[in-house]
Amino acid sequence: MQGDEFVRFPLTDLGQEPAEPLGYPTVATRVEAPCPGRFENTVVLLRGREVLEGLKKPRNIGSCTIHIACYDSTGTFIGTYHLAPGEEISFLMFPGNTAVVRMGCHQSCTGTAILEYQTPYIA
């Protein structure tokens, strides 16, 4: 193959602004779990197909360390992610065999466990 076989776009306006990335509007969603951190005090963040989408911009806005725990379809614990107070991650993806994602705080916590993350805005 020769390079001339491909169609080229002419560069006529070198000062043109770059295109905006294709995206969708989001809104901040907040979830709170009661302290102290015990399984019965955790809250479900994602279940089923929602798990595949992960969490966009999860941020700990509470005073406790947050645990984001993954479980498979039989309820077996897979693993956990931790977010210190004020910590934010750009995107959190979960293992492929995750069926449920739960959020709670540390067992000795007496503060607040509040997670904020971005969800699609639906008008």
Domain ranges of the chain: 42-123
In Å, what is the CA distance from 92 to each residue of 9, 33, 58? 37, 19, 7
Helix, strand, coil: what percent of the chain each, to 5?
10, 40, 50
Whole-Å CA distances, 69 to 19, 72, 122? 38, 10, 27
Q: What per-residue confidence (pLDDT) applies to 110?
A: 85
pLDDT digits (tens, 9 = 90+) for 34-79: 888 888 888 999 999 889 889 999 999 999 999 999 999 999 999 9
- Pairwise pLDDT comparison (48 vs 16), residue with the higher score: 48
> In terms of Cα–Cα distance, which of 50, 54, 38 is closest to 113?
38
- pLDDT reported for residue 98: 93
- pLDDT attached to residue 36: 85
The full length of the chain comes to 123
> Average pLDDT for residues 80-87, to the nearest whole number?
94
Distance separating alpha carbons of residues 20 and 84, to the nearest angstrom = 33
pLDDT band at 1 (very low <50, low <70, confident <90, very high): very low
Fold of the domain built from segment(s) 42-123: Immunoglobulin-like (2.60.40)
